[in-house]
Chains A and B, each alone.
Chain A
Amino acid sequence: MYGSSQIPCLGPNRLFHLVLIMHTEPNSLPPPNDSKMWRPKRGVSIWSERLVKYLFASFALISVVTTIGIVGTLIFETFEFFREIPFFRFLTDTQWTPLFSDQFGIFVLISATFMTSLIALLVALPIGLLAAICLSEYASPKMRKWLKPALEILAGIPTVVYGYFALLFVTPLLQSIVPGLKIFNSLSAGLVMGFAIMPLVASLSEDAIYAVPQSLRQGSYALGTTKRETVTGVVLPAALSGIVASCVLAISRAVGETMIVTVAAGASPVLTLDPRVSVQTMTSFIVQATFGDNPVGTIGYKTLFAVGMTLFLITFVLNIFSFWFVRRFQEKYE
């Protein structure tokens, strides 16, 4: 195009010339002092960019440090705990009275957590999934526009409010139906917790169901199926990974839920699967123990972390399973 030593001097259209120069060989540029070209001070911008990049990278590292902090503190204090209390007794004691006498049967707390979570999931999974199907497949766009925010409100209500509702509204109501129901019980705590985590299931499952391409539905209809058959036979299996992920997240929420069970399920550690009596879950033990006075280094303090570690391990295993399941079964559509 242009001769190797000849570059036209800069006219009004500077950008055009810059582009031209970029296309020529480096040694074909005119000597710097001759040039009146636009030369921004790039040093500052490059340095500030580098600074920002490393600053933000260190911010991102904070989340890693948080994880290390959680795992580290839990492991450290749990290790201290097991130096005093043998692991065997932690698993086999049938009572849990760490704060006054020497009984450390974690299964007492686990049975309560299991009971409240089970009841909650029996409510949250079917209702959440059906509501998700309703929102995605049956509700008109206008209805959907109203229903989704309503579910989001339900999800945004603080759990201590649900606790109040369970203790002072649901329990008296249930007491007239269920004989022998105590004031504190896992039944009403579980039921209300189910409604507290239901929106999570509904919203995440709805996302997954909504993402199934329309062509799959149409293909199914073309085979002569009805709408229900399409939904249960084609759409739900196609959205399976997302639905299972939402269910697993709901399980971890139920296991880690604190305020509803603390307020409504009571604080009596007993090894039972009777939903009508007062129990103590892992989370409500932690609240009870921190509300009392347990200075650093006492066995009460270490017990907190042993229970916290158990809680963390359960949710961690669930999370790993969820990751694995989604990776293994996720359907990809173009």
Chain B
Amino acid sequence: MTLSSNPRDLSDLQGDANSQFKPNLRSRYRLDRAFELLTWLATLISLIVLVTLLFDVIGDGAGSLNWDFLTSPPSRRAARAGLWPALVGTVWLLGITAVVAFPIGVGSGIFLEEFAPDNWFTRLIEINVGNLAAVPSIVYGLLGLTVFVDILRPITGGTSVLAGGLTLALLILPIIIVSTREALRAVPSSLRQGGFALGATRWQVIRDLVFAQSLPGILTGTILALSRAIGETAPILVVGAAGYIAFTPPLSLEGLQSDFTALPIQIYVWISRAKKDFEPIAAGGIVVLLVVLLLMNTSAILLRNKFQNKKL
């Protein structure tokens, strides 16, 4: 708040104490309590929504969870439908996205934070990364549809797990870049100076000192970004993930060009069938997806906590 610097306001204050300054403390404190209650209420509501959502999904889906559900292919009949191709498809997407996005994202982060001079080119990239983070994920899907499915068809084989993975990699690239830069910024500059003083080149300092120090932070950011990619439905739906895939991509280079489905896609397909008996298996799929995400997030947090104590 800026107090008015106009001298007349101040003289008004001194002349007539009641004009602006209301010393009625009791009503002000009452307002205070109401306001504090309101903020707690807002927090409470969001927690209630979270708990309701989890209970609803687990309540609906717990019944359909069993070994057969995890290991059988989807089916027209809800009782026999399973999750296996979707689960494998998600693992494929996770692998491709990680392999592509991690080196590129970390490399860009290192370049921007450690190598880049402060000039128009760097600023352009910075603004651009910020901009990309706000682009709706479905627009990435359209990009993937044109570039990976259409233009690069000889490489990706059209609507394939590779096209989906590359699209997701582009989607999470800005997140990885930003978290890499944050992790690098947290490394004290005395470490770098120590390295330079020993005669190391910039790259040697980064590789052997800075990168090693910031690796836990970078990995945490990457895992969180990957868990976002796993839950994304819209972009891979646009790229052409199929609803009913009864097989899994073979574990080979040709497998990259195979049709695919993924957990969120399978869930969406089951929900949109709009049949009562498909609701429990959609919920079961959601529970599996949430468990996968929970595992990833827990490992990220454990990683962060484990290394936080060892920081210089």
Q: A residues touching B (Cβ–Cβ < 8 Å)?
A: 40, 42, 45-46, 48-49, 52-53, 55-57, 59-64, 66-67, 69-70, 73-74, 77, 126-128, 130-131, 133-135, 137-139, 147, 150-151, 153-154, 156-165, 167-169, 195, 198-199, 202, 220, 224, 226-229, 231-234, 237-238, 249, 252-253, 255-259, 262-263, 283, 286-287, 290-291, 296, 304-305, 308, 311-312, 315-316, 318-319, 323
Tell me, rounded to whole Å, the shortest Cβ–Cβ distance linking A64 to chain B. Answer: 5
Interface centre among B36, B39, B130, B231 (most CB of A within 10 A): B39
Q: A159 near B231 (CB under 8 angstroms)?
A: yes
Q: B283 near A164 (CB under 8 angstroms)?
A: yes
Assembled-state Cα–Cα distance A130/B170 (Å):
34
Which residue of the partner chain B has the closest CB to A236?
A: B1
Cβ of B141 under 8 Å from chain A:
yes
Assembled-state Cα–Cα distance A167/B111 (Å):
45
Cβ of B295 under 8 Å from chain A:
no
Question: Of B39, B199, B282, which contacts A138 at CB under 8 A?
Answer: B39
Q: B135 near A315 (CB under 8 angstroms)?
A: yes
Cβ of B6 under 8 Å from chain A:
no
Of B80-88, B145-153, B185-193, B212-220, the one contacting chain A is B145-153
Assembled-state Cα–Cα distance A70/B115 (Å):
27
Give residues 258-284 of B contacting A (CB, 8 Å).
Answer: 264, 267-268, 271-272, 279, 282-283
Tell me, rounded to whole Å, the shortest Cβ–Cβ distance linking A302 to chain B. Answer: 11
Q: A63 near B237 (CB under 8 angstroms)?
A: no
Cβ of B107 under 8 Å from chain A:
yes
Question: Of A67, A139, A153, which contacts B128 at CB under 8 A?
Answer: A67
Assembled-state Cα–Cα distance A195/B43 (Å):
11
Assembled-state Cα–Cα distance A267/B35 (Å):
41
Please indicate the chain B residues that have their CB under 8 angstroms from the CB of A164 in the complex.
57, 267, 271, 282-283, 286
B interface: dominant SS = helix
Give residues 33-69 of B contacting A (CB, 8 Å).
Answer: 35-36, 38-43, 45-47, 49-50, 52-53, 56-57, 60
Please indicate the chain A residues that have their CB under 8 angstroms from the CB of B70 in the complex.
none
Given A49-B202, A150-B47, A291-B237, 19 new contacts (CB under 8 A): A40-B199, A53-B111, A57-B111, A61-B125, A62-B104, A69-B147, A130-B38, A154-B46, A160-B233, A164-B57, A165-B57, A231-B35, A256-B139, A258-B138, A286-B138, A287-B237, A304-B142, A308-B142, A316-B131
Please indicate the chain A residues that have their CB under 8 angstroms from the CB of B53 in the complex.
157, 161-162, 165, 169
User: What 8 pairs between A and B have smallest CB-CB spacing?
Assistant: A256-B136, A158-B231, A130-B42, A134-B39, A56-B111, A59-B107, A258-B234, A49-B203
Cβ of B290 under 8 Å from chain A:
yes
Q: A308 near B43 (CB under 8 angstroms)?
A: no
Tell me, rounded to whole Å, the shortest Cβ–Cβ distance linking A49 to chain B. Answer: 4
Tell me, rounded to whole Å, the shortest Cβ–Cβ distance linking B266 to chain A. Answer: 10
Q: A56 near B45 (CB under 8 angstroms)?
A: no
Please indicate the chain A residues that have their CB under 8 angstroms from the CB of B137 in the complex.
256, 258
Tell me, rounded to whole Å, the shortest Cβ–Cβ distance linking B301 to chain A. Answer: 8
Cβ of B302 under 8 Å from chain A:
no
Which residue of the partner chain A has the closest CB to B61?
A: A164
Q: A60 near B108 (CB under 8 angstroms)?
A: yes
Assembled-state Cα–Cα distance A220/B3 (Å):
10
Cβ of B163 under 8 Å from chain A:
no
Question: Of B42, B240, B267, B286, which contacts A131 at CB under 8 A?
Answer: B42
Please indicate the chain B residues that have their CB under 8 angstroms from the CB of A231 in the complex.
35
Q: A70 near B143 (CB under 8 angstroms)?
A: yes
Assembled-state Cα–Cα distance A135/B36 (Å):
11
Please indicate the chain B residues that have their CB under 8 angstroms from the CB of A198 in the complex.
46
Tell me, rounded to whole Å, the shortest Cβ–Cβ distance linking B62 to chain A. Answer: 15
Assembled-state Cα–Cα distance A130/B40 (Å):
8
Assembled-state Cα–Cα distance A229/B24 (Å):
13
Q: A127 near B46 (CB under 8 angstroms)?
A: yes
A interface: dominant SS = helix
Please indicate the chain A residues that have their CB under 8 angstroms from the CB of B116 in the complex.
57, 60
Cβ of B201 under 8 Å from chain A:
yes
Q: B279 near A168 (CB under 8 angstroms)?
A: yes
Q: B39 near A156 (CB under 8 angstroms)?
A: no
Please indicate the chain A residues that have their CB under 8 angstroms from the CB of B224 in the complex.
156
Q: B134 near A135 (CB under 8 angstroms)?
A: no
A77/B231 contact (C-beta < 8 A), A62-B108, A63-B108 known: no
Which residue of the partner chain B has the closest CB to A257?
A: B136
Cβ of B127 under 8 Å from chain A:
yes
A53/B271 contact (C-beta < 8 A), A60-B125, A147-B43 known: no
Cβ of B227 under 8 Å from chain A:
yes
Tell me, rounded to whole Å, the shortest Cβ–Cβ distance linking A214 to chain B. Answer: 15
Assembled-state Cα–Cα distance A323/B234 (Å):
27
Q: B267 near A46 (CB under 8 angstroms)?
A: no
Which residue of the partner chain A has the closest CB to B110?
A: A56
Assembled-state Cα–Cα distance A224/B243 (Å):
64
Cβ of B96 under 8 Å from chain A:
no
**What are 15 sample pairs from A and B whose C-beta atoms fall under 8 A apart?**
A57-B111, A62-B104, A63-B129, A63-B177, A64-B125, A67-B132, A70-B139, A73-B143, A134-B40, A134-B42, A255-B136, A256-B135, A262-B268, A308-B138, A308-B139
Please indicate the chain A residues that have their CB under 8 angstroms from the CB of B204 in the complex.
45, 49
Q: A64 near B290 (CB under 8 angstroms)?
A: no
Q: B290 near A157 (CB under 8 angstroms)?
A: yes
Tell me, rounded to whole Å, the shortest Cβ–Cβ distance linking B134 to chain A. Answer: 5
Please indicate the chain B residues that have their CB under 8 angstroms from the CB of A195 in the complex.
46, 49
Encode contact with A along B94-137: 1 for CB under 8 Å, 0 otherwise.
00000000011101101110011000000011011111101111
Interface centre among A130, A164, A263 (most CB of B within 10 A): A164
Assembled-state Cα–Cα distance A35/B165 (Å):
57
Tell me, rounded to whole Å, the shortest Cβ–Cβ distance linking A200 to chain B. Answer: 11
Assembled-state Cα–Cα distance A195/B89 (Å):
29
